[in-house]
Amino acid sequence: MIELKLNIPTYSSEKGLPYNWEDGFSIKTEIIENQIQVKANKAGLISLAKQLLLLAQDESPVGCHYHFDEYNSLEGGSKEIIISKI
């Protein structure tokens, strides 16, 4: 069993959803044969988990979303991905 402690900020209406990345994270997305593939190193997987946990908080309203692309969080050539709370 691995114990992992994460610092997950709380959503606020003033600041919205903050991005919270681990040092050295790497995330790449591709569409291959109608499949969305997310490839990430350990820091990238932990970073994605933190974003999803923040989005899942009761304080995060329906409609909040993260928009990931090669300009703000994904490796070059990656396909954009938007993850929304419903």
Longest Cα–Cα distance of the chain, Å, equals: 40
Higher pLDDT, 44 or 18: 44
User: What is the CA angle 33-77-55, rounded to 5?
Assistant: 85
Q: What does the pLDDT average to over 26-43?
A: 97
Query: Which of the four pLDDT bands, split at 50, 70 and 90, describes residue 71?
Result: very high
CA dist., res. 5 & res. 52, Å (int): 15
Q: Is the pLDDT of residue 2 over 80?
A: no
Residue 84, CA atoms < 13 Å, CB-side half-sphere: 4
